[in-house]
Amino acid sequence: MAATAWLSHGDTSWQLIAATIVGMQSVPGLAILYGGIVKKKWAVNSAFMVFYAFAAVLVAWLLWGYNMGFGPEWQPFVGMPGPIASMADELKQAAIPAANATAAFPMSAMVYFQFVFAAITLILIAGSVVARMSFLAWMIFVPAWLTCSYVIGAFSLWGGGWLAQKGVLDYSGGYVIHLAAGISGFVAAWVVGPRHARDRENFMPNNILLMLAGAGLLWLGWNGFNGGDPYSANADAGAAVLNTNVATAMSLLVWMLLDYIIYGRPSVIGAVQGMITGLVAITPAAGFVNGYGALLIGLLSGSIPWFTMNVLGKRLSFFRKVDDTLGVFHTHAVAGLLGGIATGFLATPEGAAAFGVPNNFGLLYGNPHQVVLQLIGAGFIIVFNIVVTFVLLKIIGLFVRLRMPEEILEVGDDAVHGEEAYAFYGDGQRQPVLGD
């Protein structure tokens, strides 16, 4: 095959690896984490919501979603919808025309890399509504929310849209992914309604070791999540990976210590929550901050979301009325907002220059306006996702039931899918007796 002048084999290899390990955060990572952290009767349904979203987003992404998020500008907040499926499209040099950006790998690698980010956003929303949302309603909601919400945030911040032009920073998705998912998940939990009353009272994980396996895939997969966003196998990618792991480790330790101090014992589930908030909070800042900034973000992400979840979440009726099953609001909305604002304070001139935005360093380095820009970006993502998610679900609810009937909620997986996670003894099998 003839050599292509713009193609870097190293950048192409890294981009495909990064995309693959981000995909593994969802399947199998979050499928395993969700399947382990929920009650036994919801393990299949929760994991299957993940697999469905991953598949449905990819098809929609190829046919219209990618160009809405990263294609030629249609409006200041969205690109022109259309497919990107021809061989000519897939082989040409990756470019984001509205952002006037190119990369040294093919468009096919760019499309797939951005797809795994879109997919995991919907999968995070699922964590707010597992154990009661109708699977048919979920099937409709996934492509609808991708089309009406995700691509707007992606184009506005990453595709060259109005927030990018203002200078709002979001290195790898603190706003586009996590703040949007946390806010939308909370709204969805409110509109869909709560779990079965008995599930709300007792929702013990069915397999904590399985949950830890999923959490481990999530943590290590984040190296691709943040390391892939310079679109190059360069020094900034290395800094982003190191900062990601430093902040995550600090956040996990802080959350664990707070559990120890307040409740008298360290919690494995709590440690995983702290891990997640660290990953989320460092995401908008990963390549902009230095190691000290990463440590500070980890300290904040291990304490502030801990407080909102364990104190405000239990005391404020606002939180008690909305059944956010896995606490996605706290682990993603709060942590994503925290990380985005912290970026406005802690982004270094060196990090901003390495990413190609030399004027967008933080307040601590002499640019207080960056904090204002970060607040503007957060405000847009919050308000927009509240409105769009509410309206979408109300429209879907006119045609299909959003929440499963009580008799199905009573049974769980077997009633929804005709399958169970742990069917130790099938039909016709002899159960062991003492002495076998």
**pLDDT of 426:** 52
CA dihedral of residues 414, 268, 331, 370 (deg, nearest 10): -150
Confidence band (pLDDT; 50, 70, 90) for 173?
Answer: very high
Assess whether pLDDT exceeds 60 at residue 2: no
Average pLDDT, the chain: 95
**pLDDT, tens digit (0-9, with 9 covering 90-100), for 338-359:** 999 999 999 999 999 999 999 9
Strands (E), 209-318: none
**pLDDT of 435:** 45
Which amino acid, 220?
L
Mean pLDDT in residue range 127-134: 98
**pLDDT, tens digit (0-9, with 9 covering 90-100), for 3-54:** 689 999 999 999 999 999 999 999 999 999 999 999 999 999 999 999 999 9
CA dihedral of residues 179, 184, 185, 188 (deg, nearest 10): 170
Assess whether pLDDT exceeds 90 at residue 138: yes
Q: Are 80 and 71 in contact (CB under 8 A)?
A: yes
Q: Could you give the domains of the chain?
A: 17-225+232-406 (1.10.3430.10)
Assess whether pLDDT exceeds 60 at residue 151: yes
**pLDDT of 130:** 97
Looking at the chain, the whole-number percentage of residues with pLDDT higher than 70 is: 96
Assess whether pLDDT exceeds 70 at residue 425: no
**pLDDT of 85:** 87
Q: Which of 19-23, 47-51, 254-258, 316-320 has the lowest mean pLDDT?
A: 316-320
**pLDDT of 424:** 63
Mean pLDDT in residue range 66-82: 97
* 148: DSSP letter: I
Mean pLDDT in residue range 208-218: 97
Mean pLDDT in residue range 410-430: 78
**pLDDT of 436:** 40
Tell me the pTM: 0.95
**pLDDT of 323:** 96
Q: Which of 105, 149, 160, 104 lies closest to 124 in space, CA to CA? A: 149
Q: How far is CA 132 from the centre of its chain?
A: 21
Which amino acid, 411?
V
**pLDDT of 377:** 98
